[in-house]
Amino acid sequence: MKAMRLERVGSPLVMRELPDPEPGPLEVRIRVEACAVCRTDLHIVDGDLASTGHPLTPGHEIVGWVDRLGEGVSALALGQRVGVGWLGAACHACAYCHDGSENLCDAPTFTGYTRDGGFATHVVADARYVYHLPASGSAAEMAPLLCAGLIGWRSLGMAGRGGTLGLYGFGAAAHLVLQIAKWEQRRVFAFTRDGDIEAQTLARELGADWTGASEQAPPEEMDAAIIYAPVGALVPLALKHVRRGGRVVCAGIHMSDIPAFPYKDLWGERQIRSVANLTRQDAHAFLALAPSIGLKVRTTVYPLADANRALDDLRSGRLHGAAVLTP
């Protein structure tokens, strides 16, 4: 197999040829068809998340075909199309797992972080955390659903049922969440980098009711705001524009420090919440719903060998929508 490996944090990925992996008990091997590039991959490569200290294959938005079964796997079949996301496995023993909150597990594994991921031709995954996907359809368009879509779905649920929603950081997740919110008949305000006309144009094409720079005030108070950009300074900005009782949801796994802000901006039972990973139930619910929404997935496709270019385009803000690698 071939894989783009992170051998030293802060350095470019390197293409390596490795022995074909063998699935262990309750695991499957998947021939990768496409793997989307998430901002979390960028945080891992750049060292914003703690290093595992070992060479690693990033990537956790994987679409592919099962080509080998490990012992004890009965719910999947050879030749079946599947998806793999960020939560690689949970311990099934801690209080959080027993409470149905496996996203908060004490001893989880994460695809493309604590176990090798999908920037490769093949990947091994825990069969219990693999999702059935339709046999037809574009793999490149399905891949972003495995994280941008899933985290977007969970963050939208945390935002509550309010009718007016703000989205800060208009990237892979936000361009999907906007469409879901419009399907739910909400008003959506899209906040982008100052001067990012292309992102604002895309947001309007997808149904945004207003677009502007993150520093701008929206045309009316919002019921909730979701922050996808890893910029802590956006939290106080968003708080100023949500109504009393409203929520600001921080959807990234990493964010720069939130600066101090006046208590009056939080007062009025406003809330700040974070999204931590996701559960299999999130995945099953979203993947069942997604086809009925008719999502338009904006992608830029790169060959696997160009993973570093895809990461750099994401880092620099040149991407609009989702980057996807294809072996």
- At 71 the pLDDT is 98
Contacts 24+ apart (CB under 8 A), 280-288: 280/87, 280/102, 280/128, 280/129, 280/131, 281/100, 282/103, 282/150, 282/153, 282/154, 283/85, 283/131, 283/146, 283/150, 284/131, 285/153, 286/145, 286/149, 286/150, 286/153, 287/83, 287/131, 287/133, 287/145
- At 314 the pLDDT is 96
Amino acid at 99: D
* Domain segments of the chain as ranges: 2-146+297-326, 149-274
Residue whose token pair is 């420090």 = 257
CA distances from 97 to 94, 157, 169 (A): 5, 20, 31
Nearest CA to 156 out of 186, 129, 133 is that of: 186
Distance CA 250, CA 253 (A): 9
Q: Are 36 and 120 in contact (CB under 8 A)?
A: no
Instruction: Indicate the fold that domain 2-146+297-326 takes in CATH.
Output: Quinone Oxidoreductase; Chain A, domain 1 (3.90.180)
What residues contact 45, with CB distance under 8 A and at least 6 apart? 6, 9, 10, 13, 58, 311
B/e letters for 288-326, b = 16+ CB within 10 Å, e = fewer, are eebeeeebebbbbbbebebbbebbebbeeeebbbbbbbb
- The per-residue pLDDT for range 27-54, each reduced to its tens digit, is 999 999 999 999 999 999 999 999 998 9
Name beta bridge partners: 66: 30
Helix 307-316 / helix 39-46 crossing angle, nearest 10 deg: 100
- At 204 the pLDDT is 97
Q: Are 210 and 191 in contact (CB under 8 A)?
A: no
B/e letters for 189-219, b = 16+ CB within 10 Å, e = fewer, are bbbbeeebeebbebbeebebbbbbebeeebe
Domain at 149-274, CATH from 3.40.50.261, 3.30.530.20, 3.10.450.40, 3.40.50.720: 3.40.50.720
> Mean pLDDT in runs of 10 for the chain (327 residues)?
97 97 98 97 96 95 98 97 98 97 98 98 98 97 97 96 97 97 97 94 97 97 97 98 98 96 97 96 96 95 98 94 96
Q: Are 254 and 48 in contact (CB under 8 A)?
A: yes
Question: 103 — phi, psi (to 5°)?
Answer: -65, -20
Q: Are 142 and 34 in contact (CB under 8 A)?
A: yes
